Amino acid sequence: MPEGIDLTDDERRLAELGYKQELHRSWSGFSNFAISFSIISILAGCFTNFGAGWNNGGPISVSWSWPILSLFILLIGFTMSELVSAFPTSGGIYWWASRLGGARAGFYTGWLNLIGLIAVTAGVAYGCATFIDLTISTWSRSYADGYSLTRVFLTFVVVLGVAAVLNIFSGHLMAIMNNVSVWWHVFGAAAIIVMLLLVPDHHQSFSYVFTHRFNNSGFLSGSTGSFGFWFAIVPFGFLLTQYTITGFDASAHLSEETSSASKAAAKGIWQSIAYSALGGYILLLCVVFAVPNVGGVPDDAGVGGGGVAYIFTTAMGNSWGGLVLFISAAGQVFCTVSCLTSASRMLFAFSRDRAVPGWSHWSRLSANRVPAQGVVLVAVVAAIVTLPALIKVNVGTDAEPLIVPVAFYAVTSIAVIGLYLSFAIPIWLRWRHGDRFEVGSWNNGAKYRWMNPIAVAEIVIVSLYLMMPFVPGAVPFSKDFAWKFVNYAPIVTLGALLALTIWWYASARHWFTGPIRTIDESPEEAPQPGA
């Protein structure tokens, strides 16, 4: 750095890591926490993926799986908080892997993280569009007297467009929106809890909520007592928790825009997980308690086909049910905007280090000091990967059709697999570094020795489950097999890994060297890809 320039502690630490301050550092510690809390969004994941948990185990898949998995995810968050405290850069996950494991580790980590962030943006925006459609159609039969995949997809594109415009307008505006989002989620979730407790005429028993189970997956002939039910069917429902509590790496990606980043970003990660896990659990329990009865017994099948919207409207009527759907849809708008912010910052950082084709475009900042072209790219790719959602997937009968959102579950599975695998690499590398690792102001002390291996094991196990077929028709070589049923998450993730491996050995290893110091050289002076 030139002499005579006074640097803040944040700028000095960023300079030590090799980067000059380009992004506007206007985010407070609360704003940093807010973006991860907004992306986790208990008003989004808890409701949009409720069917994944419900149909794969029933009430016990919600009441028991959520708290157990939440503890493991909090453990993952602690390991990542330690890493961001040591290395508070926008590249975050990828930068940690590069520093601890070399260029190849960083290359794979960065691409997995970017794929996951784009997929989570797509999943949240599509879920948001679905809830906007449900809200309007609940209040107005003239708007829609039936579900339309085309109508929802067009709404999805509009949601992505609005989120992109808001992101391009101002980076500081995003900080303000995330602050507002926190309170919308807090008061919105509280309002929904109160409505679910007071409005329904009937509530289920504690025995139903904590012991009742069933198997609507289509596998094992509906068995609920076999080994396969506990170790194959119930884990399919892990998608509910694992998808909801994800995206907390946003606190790392926004660290270059956060004051006192080494502490604030670390707290942002684990606190967003902890508060979301607690709030989400209370919210989900209230939803399960509100499951309506038909003929004097809980309508498990009706909930399985209609999800939370069926619970809200049946238990509370269209007026109250529509209000709950509106609160959730608005929260999901905030969540979509935050997801796009996080993904665009990751794309900016990864492009700044020349890892993405066309890097000069995606690392360019607008007059408002935001990566506007990167924002647009993320939105466009998110729309493209969700195109299979236009294909109708009906696993029921003509008399009782059951439309399964296979594409939505696949996109959300890609998000979980991509993001969590990218987390696992630096977490594992930090464990291998042992006491040689130079910790930051926030760290786990000696507890990393058992925390990191457990965190990696949880990620690998859940990722394998989420690559499995969701319905019997997706099982290869079965008599009911059809491509429309296929969970394309493993095709995308494993295909991406294969493509990255070919690219690495054929080209990237010759020019990609990991993070490039922008303090010492300008982008024009850096070696070009393929040179």
Q: Are strands 297-298 and 293-294 parallel, antiparallel or unpaired?
A: antiparallel
Contacts 24+ apart (CB under 8 A), 219-227: 219/472, 224/58
Domain boundaries along the sequence of the chain: 28-525
Per-residue pLDDT at 420: 95
Per-residue pLDDT at 524: 44
Which numeric CATH code is attached to 28-525?
1.20.1740.10
167 CB burial (10 A radius; 0-12, 13-18, 19+):
buried
| Contact call for residues 416 and 116 (beta carbons, < 8 A) | yes
Give 3's contacts (C-beta < 8 A, 6+ positions apart).
Answer: none
Per-residue pLDDT at 54: 94
**What phi and psi, each to the nearest 5 degrees, are found at residue 27?**
-90, 135
* CA–CA distance, 385 with 72 (Å, rounded to integer): 29
Give 458's contacts (C-beta < 8 A, 6+ positions apart).
Answer: 72, 73, 75, 76
Per-residue pLDDT at 103: 94
Beta partners for residue 57, in sequence order: 214
Per-residue pLDDT at 193: 97
Tens digit of each residue's pLDDT, the chain (531 residues) = 444 456 677 778 778 877 777 776 777 888 888 888 888 999 999 998 998 899 999 999 999 999 999 999 999 999 999 999 988 887 678 889 999 999 999 999 999 999 999 999 999 999 999 999 999 999 887 776 677 888 999 999 999 999 999 988 865 677 788 788 889 999 999 999 999 999 999 999 999 999 999 998 889 988 998 899 999 999 989 999 999 999 898 888 888 888 888 889 999 999 999 999 999 999 999 999 999 999 889 999 889 888 899 999 999 999 999 999 999 999 999 999 989 988 998 898 889 888 999 988 888 888 777 889 999 999 999 999 899 888 876 654 444 445 556 778 888 889 999 999 999 999 999 999 999 999 999 999 999 999 999 999 999 999 999 999 888 888 988 888 888 788 888 988 899 999 999 999 999 999 998 887 766 544 444 444 443
| Contact call for residues 516 and 363 (beta carbons, < 8 A) | no
Which residue from 289, 321, 293 is spatially nearest to 59, judged by alpha carbons?
A: 289
Per-residue pLDDT at 21: 74
| Contact call for residues 361 and 153 (beta carbons, < 8 A) | no
Helix (H) or strand (E) holding 57: strand 56-57
